[in-house]
Structure 1
């Protein structure tokens, strides 16, 4: 539907956001993150139920991320011609099947395999959600539409994962995965009911993944995303280990709640400003996150400084996915699907890389090194954002003609 607004000197049309369709995408992202992170909160129960150590059970999260890394590019590349609604519903059906397998699995190997396959489906979901959202809204509202569609990530981190952990305590971890399967099944119905039947790309319209790397601005956006996500996960994964030595081991839940609430507040600010001030918001996101890590480096022993830093961290992180995805779509032009597959791979490399690097640093240099390493990664991201003024993070949003030209003439 189109609303017509009359101004004193101009008449302009503003497309009303297809809210229910965007919220179906939000719910898809929410479920994806829930399934990814939920084992972290119930490791003792899962390890006991399957007869393995907690460190082995922790690989359920790693397997999920690896599945996304392995599956995103080949699957998205091979399904560019599929209708988007059907592909999303198929990926959600994969969640139903893999969650039920985990719920009844008697062995560690089968559970690990199911988690890997679930990660492959997650790579599909993340590979198409941003593209669907971009096609549902007009150019002038792309950032706002993406902010709504991608809000499932910070919402899941703020309230979804803790709620899943609480539910597991009430009904057991196996029935919690059954509940996730039921949620996924209901979400399939929602997607089929509200999403339009967006067609896939015709054969002549598809962009090979290798060509994505020649698009102006795309590589800087991708590298920024990898650095930023690695930085976040390096500290987030080991936040309990970081806080314990400074006497705040019992405050992990409270610190993460402060972070989560601030992340949700960041979404509102990002949604209101992203379409006009993406570059400014991305610079602020990196700078504020870096400042929070600097404060933690010097003042980690102060509870007030820790909570203030967690607040700043949440404010910086909450809208980061929307900012980076919008920058990617602006740089990608008509090659959104191929670019999104590369972005999903880079994003999950950051998740896995943060976990691996954090573990190495924790074991070799101790917990204080986590904050300093996070700071170094963020300074690298900030430099790239500041330098990417022309194509990656320009002061103005490229119009349709600019993006089409970039896709046709990538040099």
Structure 2
């Protein structure tokens, strides 16, 4: 799982790298910073559009090979960006990398669920997503340091080389899913894909789709506010040592703590997701009072980071669990689509609110939106936690390796 976590580190760092090198990259390509910023939003849009078609294209193939090949493509994207002579070439390289990342998220999510028994799913997803969190907390700051020392092109080149190394590790270290292991005969895999046998998932996709939609709405509220976090918490940040950079680092570390906590819930994922959503809603509402005192503002940011940091692993675990083995590829593809869609829609909706009423108007509607999804998630928590509904992704699959073994 640590190797797959390293893969998510490179994926998130690649996605957010233009934000860390924005001035230098804009100057190097001879374009306005607004056009360089578009490289991130275009990336998210491509992930949404490309994930399902690419998952269908590689359906049935060894996921280790799919993940390794997609990492090679992502590495090529980073290396091509480092050598790009113009903005147009950079856009093309980023489109290629975004498509690879859409496939990577879907394949990695599905492969994690195949490798571990259901009781270890939440913890394993948290380990893998820990790499993604580190990509936000450490990856982009490290890239900024490299840029200051030797230039933005070196930052992209270094990421490309690291991604190639991770591709080799995935192919040589990560275990194959059990039905493809030597001697398995493949019969169990056919039963799982057909939805029959003891390892089959739930009778219908309804619960999985319902949770996915609710998570998408939740993310619109959360990311809508987070898009303008530097505007919302200006006052408490100005009063703290290190200013905004320090406060954002605190948020990132708090989010990492949330990921760790999410891995401790095991089969209680559904109620834990509802509670995490409720905590996020309360923290968003608390943003209204961040100007009262710097200590209060910092406390609200920490609470927001912990509560929202737990959301991705809990949501991914529940969606994979509800999909069951029979819909593993679909569930895996839904996850990057809903997260990137939530980011894109949330940022767009927030920009409209800010243009009309300013950033200070964001916390309340964001809190209401997230709070409403928390209530809906809590109502559905009990039926989604029942063994017959959850599909027990690990039951009926023999010789599952533990998370420590992969």
Please list every run of 5 or more consecutive structure 1 residues that lacks an aligned counterpart in the other structure: 1-21, 405-411
Paired residues for 1:139-154 under 5 Å:
139-154=118-133
Distance of 2:389 and 2:86 partners within structure 1: 51
Aligned residue number for residue 287 of structure 1: 278
Q: CA deviation at 1:140?
A: 1.7
CA distance in 2, matches of 1:394, 1:228: 23
Report how many aligned residue pairs link the two structures.
Answer: 379
Q: Tell me, in whole angstroms, the C-alpha distance in 2 between the residues paired with 1:212 and 1:258.
A: 40
1:35 and 2:23 matched: no
Q: CA deviation at 1:327?
A: 0.6
Cα separation, partners in 2 of 1:396 and 1:248, compared to 1, 3 Å: farther
Instruction: Provide, for residues 337-357 of structure 1, a one-character-per-residue CA deviation record: whole Å limited to 9, x for no partner.
Output: 112212221111011112212
SS at match of 1:196: coil
Partner of 1:243: 233
Q: Give 1:298's aligned residue.
A: 289
Contact preservation (8 Å) 1:89, 1:191 = yes
Residue 398 of structure 1 and its aligned partner are, at CA, apart by 3.4
Q: What corresponds to 1:347 in structure 2?
A: 339
Describe the shift of the 1:167–1:366 C-alpha distance in structure 2 as closer, same or farther (beyond 3 A): same
The answer to whether the 8 A contact 1:267-1:319 is kept is: yes
Note the C-alpha offset of 1:39: 0.8
Shift of 1:389: 2.8
Greater CA drift, 82-91 or 274-283: 274-283
1:115 aligned residue = 94
Q: TM-score of the superposition, structure 1-length normalised?
A: 0.85
In the TM superposition, residue 80 of structure 1 has moved relative to its aligned partner by 1.2
CA displacement 1:85-115 (0-9 Å, x = unmatched): 1000111001111111111111111111211
CA deviation profile, 1:332-386 (whole Å, cap 9, x unmatched): 1120111221222111101111221222222121011221232122112212211
Aligned equivalent of 2:139, options 140, 160, 184:
160
**Do the aligned partners of 1:294 and 1:372 also contact (CA within 8 Å) in 2?**
yes
Q: Is the 8 A contact 2:321 2:392 kept in 1?
A: no
Q: Cα gap change, 1:300/1:212 in structure 2, threshold over 3 Å: closer, same or farther?
A: farther
How many Å separate the matches in 1 of 2:80 and 2:190?
A: 36
Per the alignment, residue 2 of structure 2 pairs with 23
Q: Which has the higher contact order (CA 8 A, sep 6+)?
A: 2
CA RMSD of aligned residues (A): 2.7
1:100 maps to what in 2?
Answer: 79
- Alpha-carbon distance between aligned partners in 2 of 1:383 and 1:358, rounded to the nearest angstrom: 22
